[in-house]
Each structure stands twice: as C-alpha cells, then as structure tokens.
Amino acid sequence: YGMKERGREEFVKSELGSLNPVNWTVSDVVSYFTSAGFPEQALAFRTQEIDGKSLLLMQRNDVLTGLSIRLGPALKIYERHVKVLQRTHFEEDD
Amino acid sequence: YGMKERGREEFVKSELGSLNPVNWTVSDVVSYFTSAGFPEQALAFRTQEIDGKSLLLMQRNDVLTGLSIRLGPALKIYERHVKVLQRTHFEEDD
Amino acid sequence: YGMKERGREEFVKSELGSLNPVNWTVSDVVSYFTSAGFPEQALAFRTQEIDGKSLLLMQRNDVLTGLSIRLGPALKIYERHVKVLQRTHFEEDD
Amino acid sequence: YGMKERGREEFVKSELGSLNPVNWTVSDVVSYFTSAGFPEQALAFRTQEIDGKSLLLMQRNDVLTGLSIRLGPALKIYERHVKVLQRTHFEEDD
Amino acid sequence: YGMKERGREEFVKSELGSLNPVNWTVSDVVSYFTSAGFPEQALAFRTQEIDGKSLLLMQRNDVLTGLSIRLGPALKIYERHVKVLQRTHFEEDD
C-alpha cells in the first residue's frame, strides 16, 4: 500500500500543480480571480498587466495599494489567494 | 466556589465571543463603529466593503490610509477597536 | 535635605505633568502648536481632529504625510514636540 | 586546461562587466530597458532622469511606485533587471 | 611630526565642520544644493521650508517622496549629500 500512498500524494501534487500560476497569462489571472468570486477586482489585474510570474512577485502592499481596488476585497485576495498560490508554487520548487 | 469561578470565566468568554467579528457582515461592521461613536467613519467601512473577516486582516496602516478618514479618529479606531477585536478573536482561537 | 530634594523632584514632575496631553481637547492641541511656533500647521491638527489621546498615538510617518503640511516644519513638529510629549507621558506612567 | 578555465571565467566576467551600469547615461538606461522588452516603461526612466548611478540606488518600492508604470511590468523590471544589475555591480566590486 | 599630523587632522575637521548644516537657514540649504548641481531640486527645499535642522532629520523616503522631485536626482541627493552631511554632523558630535 506504500505505492498507493505515493500515487495519491502525486495526484494531490499534480492537482495543486494545476494551480501553480508560473505559466499563467494575464487572461488566466483574470479568469482565476473571476472564478474565485472577485470579477470586479479581476479587471484590475488586467489593467496592471499582471501575469502568473508577476503574481508570484506580489507582496501584501502591492495588492492593497497597487491595484486601486477596495480595501475589503483586497485584503481577502491577498490572504486567501495570492499568498496561497505563492506558497503552493514555492513548496513545489522544493 | 471553584465552579462558580469557572462559570464566571465562561460567561466573560462568551460575552467577549459576541464581539468576535469573524462572521460579521459589512452592515454589522458599520453598526459596530456607529455604536462605538464613529458614525461618519463607519460609512468608510461600507465604501471599502469591509466585513468581519476583512476587519481581522487590517493592519494599522490600512486603517490610517486605506479608509480615507481623518487621522485623529483613525488612530483611535485602530488602537481601541480594530486591535482589540483582533486580539479577542485570536485569543479565542487558542 | 533629602526631603527638599524630593520636593523639587515632585515639582519638576508636576510641571512636566502639565504637558501631558492625555486629556487635551483638539483645541488644546491647536493652542499648543500655535504657541510652539507653528500656527499654520496647528490648523492641520484641527482639520484631522487630533486631540491629546490621538496625539499620543501618532508615529513619525503620520505627522509627515497624514497632516498635509510642509516637510520642514513637519520634521521639527515630530522630533521636538510629538516625540517629546509622548516620552513625557509614558515616563509618567512608570 | 586550468588556464583555459580561468580564461573562460574572465571572459564571462568581462561580459557581465559590460552590463555594469555605473557609467550608463540616462539614454543608455532607456536603451537597456527597451531591448529588455519594456519599451513603454523605458520612457519612465527618462522622465525620472535615471542614469546608471541612480539605477544602482533604486529599491523595490522606488521601481514599483516612483516610476508611475503598471504594476505587472514593474515587478519584473525590478526582479529580473534592477536587482540583477545591482548584484552584478556589487559582486564586481569585491 | 606628531604635532604636524594632529594639526592636519584638526584642519580637515574644521573644513568638514563648515559643512555642518545645523545652523543653515532655508536659503543656505537652497544655495548648497544649487552649488551641488541640483538648482531645480534646490527650489523644492525652499517650498518645503527645509533649513539645516530639518535637513539633519530627513530620511531616504522623505527625500524621495516628500519633495516632489524626480526620482533620479532624488536618489543622488539623498545618497551623496543628505546622508553625507548627516554623517559629518553626527561624527562631529562624538
């Protein structure tokens, strides 16, 4: 059952992998935030030309003040999405 | 009297619990700051769409510069309310 | 002469105490900065509704960017007044 | 073949050396970012009068907020270019 | 020759001393930056009412964002002048 375990682990990894934004275009970023429940804020990512690689470089303050979006959604976008996507990406790198 | 003590402690906890903003809607946040003596500033929380979950994520600088409210009230809102609500919330988590 | 010494020390303390802004109204804050040689900047404290309690919460950056006053006077107001009043206040608390 | 190795290393060093921006004029900076794929953003370096010496003094926040360029390209310009050019420059100094 | 050495050291100190801005008026500050090759930026020091004492209190970010001058010159003004004048001043204090 060791292999079964490993199989499941790899499946989880590849699932998470599909959320690794490193190769996302700007449109992929917009789609992601639209599906995540932030259709209005998603447009700001297009305006600021943020693709997956740029998304991985964003810090808290960039999301809060660099996108010109309302503070409430910005706080959630950073905490629940940008931070989580970055963590997933950097864990995969290990 | 040990049980009496514990009873009182639990009462205090549940009272504080009622101030745990994790499930507050944006309107609850607005009501809270209105009752707290900041009716004008309370509206800024609606404008910025800040519900309880976002409130728990706010830092000092977000309150001071992200709400476009006057500096004097902003300093008190952060120090006496946002900080206190966050402390209560995170203590309950322990 | 030990008592004499203590008497003088208490006098100094109460003199400094009169500069403890904890109970100052917004008008007291305005008067203070007017007398201190900053009549123009004093008005910004009224605009931003800063009373004594808010004054004690101000950080360097709040004075420099939150009052919309010129940088030169702002630097002196923070260094020679806000910082000094805060130090006096917190020393008295000990 | 020890010398061959050293020769190659020196070649690499001098190649990188040609990317040492310490003596670049503002126009050199503009050309660099144009060739690097950021023709639009390159103009902001001219507007802000940034020559090689100023480029070596830029921090992350200066690139993100001081150039008035879009956030996505700004993040890449800092991470892939400004930071790399500075590292090259300061390594050569050792 | 020990005395000769000491004499030279004192001369250097007093020369540097003449660059100690603690007693400079706003006009002295403006003259300094004009002679230093920044005539346009020098005017911003007048607009912001920065005399020698304020100059000694300026931090990097104050020069870069508080004077409303272009980023390139601002970076050099801070690094080559403000920082250096402050270091000279505080070394003399020792």
Q: Please report the pLDDT score of residue B90 as a whole number.
A: 85
- Of E31 and A15, the structure prediction assigns the larger pLDDT to E31
Q: Please report the pLDDT score of residue C1 as a whole number.
A: 41
Average pLDDT, chain A: 86
**Beta carbons within 8 Å of B1's beta carbon, 6+ residues apart:** none
**Residues of chain A with C-beta less than 8 angstroms from the C-beta of B57:** 75-76, 79
> In this complex, do E70 and D48 lie within 8 Å of one another by their Cβ atoms?
yes
Give the closest residue to D85 by CA, choosing from D23, D40, D5. D23
Q: Please report the pLDDT score of residue E90 as a whole number.
A: 85
- Interface list for chain E against chain C, based on CB atoms closer than 8 Å: 26, 47-51, 53-54, 57-58, 62, 66-67
Q: Please report the pLDDT score of residue E28 as a whole number.
A: 97
| Cα separation, D50 vs D30, whole angstroms | 9
| Cα separation, D93 vs D86, whole angstroms | 11
Question: Which of C13-17, C55-59, C84-88 has the weakest average pLDDT?
Answer: C13-17
Given a cut of 60, is residue D1 above it in pLDDT? no
CA distance A15 to chain D (A): 26
- Subunits adjacent to chain E (3 or more Cβ pairs under 8 Å): C, D
- Of A20 and E43, the structure prediction assigns the larger pLDDT to E43
| ipTM summary value | 0.81
> In this complex, do D47 and E70 lie within 8 Å of one another by their Cβ atoms?
yes
> In this complex, do C71 and E53 lie within 8 Å of one another by their Cβ atoms?
no
- Subunits adjacent to chain C (3 or more Cβ pairs under 8 Å): B, E
- Interface list for chain C against chain B, based on CB atoms closer than 8 Å: 26, 47-51, 53-54, 57-58, 62, 66-67
- Summarize the confidence of residues B42-61 as an average pLDDT: 98
Is the CB of residue E73 less than 8 Å from the CB of residue D53? Answer: no
Give the closest residue to B53 by CA, choosing from B93, B86, B23, B85. B23
User: Long-range contacts for E85-93 (Cβ within 8 Å, ≥24 apart)?
Assistant: E85/E19, E85/E20, E85/E21, E85/E55, E85/E56, E86/E55, E86/E56, E86/E58, E88/E16, E88/E19, E88/E20, E89/E20, E89/E21, E89/E22, E89/E56, E92/E13, E92/E16, E92/E17, E92/E20
Q: Please report the pLDDT score of residue A94 as a whole number.
A: 62
Q: Label residue E49 left, alpha or beta by phi (over 0 means left) and psi (-120 to 50 means alpha).
A: left
Given a cut of 60, is residue C2 above it in pLDDT? no
For an interface test with D, the pick among E71, E79, E84 (most D C-beta atoms closer than 10 Å) comes out as: E71
For D69, the closest chain A residue by CA position comes to A48
**Of C65, C70, C79, which is closest to E57 when you measure between CB atoms?**
C79
Instruction: Tell me which DSSP letter residue A21 carries.
Output: G
Percent of chain E residues topping a pLDDT of 90: 71
**Of A65, A71, A79, which is closest to B48 when you measure between CB atoms?**
A71
Q: Please report the pLDDT score of residue E15 as a whole number.
A: 43
- Summarize the confidence of residues B1-5 as an average pLDDT: 46
**Residues of chain E with C-beta less than 8 angstroms from the C-beta of D48:** 70-72
Q: Please report the pLDDT score of residue C41 as a whole number.
A: 98
Instruction: Tell me which DSSP letter residue E66 carries.
Output: S
| Cα separation, A85 vs E64, whole angstroms | 33
- Of C93 and D7, the structure prediction assigns the larger pLDDT to C93
**Beta carbons within 8 Å of B32's beta carbon, 6+ residues apart:** B21, B24, B42, B81
Instruction: Tell me which DSSP letter residue E23 carries.
Output: G
- Summarize the confidence of residues B32-57 as an average pLDDT: 98
Is the CB of residue A52 less than 8 Å from the CB of residue A25? Answer: yes
* pLDDT tens digits along B54-81: 999 999 999 999 999 999 999 999 999 9
- Of D20 and A59, the structure prediction assigns the larger pLDDT to A59
CA distance A61 to chain B (A): 9
| Cα separation, A32 vs A51, whole angstroms | 11
Q: What's the pLDDT band for D19 if we cut at 50, 70, 90?
A: confident
Q: What's the pLDDT band for C68 if we cut at 50, 70, 90?
A: very high
Please give the helix or strand (H or E) that residue C58 lies within, else none.
none
Q: Please report the pLDDT score of residue A92 as a whole number.
A: 75
- Subunits adjacent to chain B (3 or more Cβ pairs under 8 Å): A, C
**Residues of chain B with C-beta less than 8 angstroms from the C-beta of A72:** 26, 48-51, 54
Residue tagged 């009412």 (tokens): E49
B63 to A61, A64, A72: CA distances (angstroms)? 13, 12, 11
Token pair for A66:
């660099």
Domain boundaries along the sequence of chain D? 5-91
For D64, the closest chain E residue by CA position comes to E71
* pLDDT tens digits along C24-34: 999 999 999 99
Average pLDDT, chain D: 86
* pLDDT tens digits along C34-52: 999 999 999 999 999 999 9
Q: Please report the pLDDT score of residue C60 as a whole number.
A: 98
For an interface test with E, the pick among C41, C64, C68, C71 (most E C-beta atoms closer than 10 Å) comes out as: C71
DSSP-derived 3-state class of residue E41: helix
Q: What's the pLDDT band for C6 if we cut at 50, 70, 90?
A: very low
Q: What's the pLDDT band for D18 if we cut at 50, 70, 90?
A: low
Q: What's the pLDDT band for C18 if we cut at 50, 70, 90?
A: low
Pick the CATH number of C5-91 from 1.10.150.50, 3.30.60.50, 1.10.150.120, 2.40.30.10: 1.10.150.50
- Summarize the confidence of residues E47-54 as an average pLDDT: 98
Q: Please report the pLDDT score of residue A18 as a whole number.
A: 60
